[in-house]
A and B are shown apart, each in its own frame.
Chain A
Amino acid sequence: MANVISDETIEYVGILAKLELSGAEKENAKQDMEKMLDYIDTLNELDTAGIEPMSHVFPVNNVFREDVVTNGDGHEAALANAPKQKNNSFEVPKTIG
């Protein structure tokens, strides 16, 4: 069955993705997604009942180590990449009214 992506869905996915798409971009995104989902739906031909989802090929275990500081104070180098900084901190727009 052909997938139909509504304006509301694209709006909602845009919020999740933190992307602001223009009108033309939204139309393209709808078409792209419909086409891709139609293609992805071929997976429904496969019977996967009882198959465990495999997130990693090898067993992944938590890797623990002692919590010992090995790096020095890198705040100057880290802040050097910030688009805006103030008082030794990243500067962001006001978040609390």
Chain B
Amino acid sequence: MEKYKIVMLGEKDHGKSTLLANLLIASKSVSHERINEVKNISKKNKTRFEPAYILDAFSEERDLGMTIDTTRANIAYKNKLIELIDVPGHLELIKNMMTGASSSEIAVLVVSAKKNEGFKLETKRHLFLASMFNLKTVIIAVNKMDELDYNEKIFNRLKKQINDFLNMLDIKIKPIFIPISAYDNENLTVKSQKIKWYNGKSLLETITGLKNNKKGNGKNKNKIRVLIQDTFDENNKSFSGIIYSGKLIKNSKIKILPKNIKAKIKSVSFLNRSSKSSNLKNVLISFFDKDLGVKRGDIIYDLNSDPSYLDKFRAKIFLINNIDLKNLKNIKIIFNNNEFGINKINILKAISPLSGKLMDLKKIIKPDYSINAEINLNCRYPIEKFNEFEEFGRFLIFNKNKFAGIGIVF
């Protein structure tokens, strides 16, 4: 069954959880028991039936009427499997939003068309992050149209605002716009009869009509890039790893970076013969030679292929907290669960993704900027460009052991 991984983005109170819950109810993906539980709580809280309570399961979320952390729910629709991830829309909870967005391929960005809500900062931030997380498709669900008499002009005005913003910042996303009412179920599963001027499909029909959302390394798929996860035996001859690209062939010679160790493959074994659709492909590899000095985090390459960078690299970074560049020893960079210190960061350019303004930053890197920087690791490590080998060209930044932001290599 084809699977679509979707994150629901958008500002708080613009209706993400309500939309998701109504999709679950409309596609019969949630039990009567769960719906009844929510009906009882709504009654007790003396509010109208609140579908969002299905996902906002913490009492605190329900009392405050906001999502605190991500929730995942699966729906099946016309023989397609859709995994929906709900994330909080509050700035303070942006790291939870990032956790949800990082495992998705498609975003549904919910924007309320109401006058006092509209296209605001958090929505801009989410659009920018959607481009950093390389989400292939962004669907903009223009919500609360029921409260605006399904007015076409209001819809078009919002559409223009968002497209102008994307052009100004040169964000390469071409969104699909759909007018909806999450609360009244208009345009969610079937095309709305109340929105005659809209010629497109309903939200679920649009999603299941999408093709090629799987991420992949395209033209580089024949090159070998295998991450060593762990040593597997006491003799230090076999290792567990993840094949992100290429094929490992018995008796062939490969090299292992960063130490440039040459080795001959004795055997390769997989968990499953056919897990083509899986983006994690576990493998056990053993070599003829023992005590090669191969470590967790090392990467297997073909003999005639090299990484883009080996210590100094260029990246676009986005932070959620300030970082003081005078204290580099507090900063750690994580590539595929392996931690590195840094010797130097040079800021090349800092631009606000919210206003488009350039900023002169030197000693402190501030949050909320799209920052191009040159980074020197404190040791040699193979690093790839994000648009060539995504898994080896993205990293997390920690400051004093706290999550500070993400980066992608260019």
A and B, one complex?
A: no
* B interface, CB within 8 angstroms of A: none
* A interface, CB within 8 angstroms of B: none
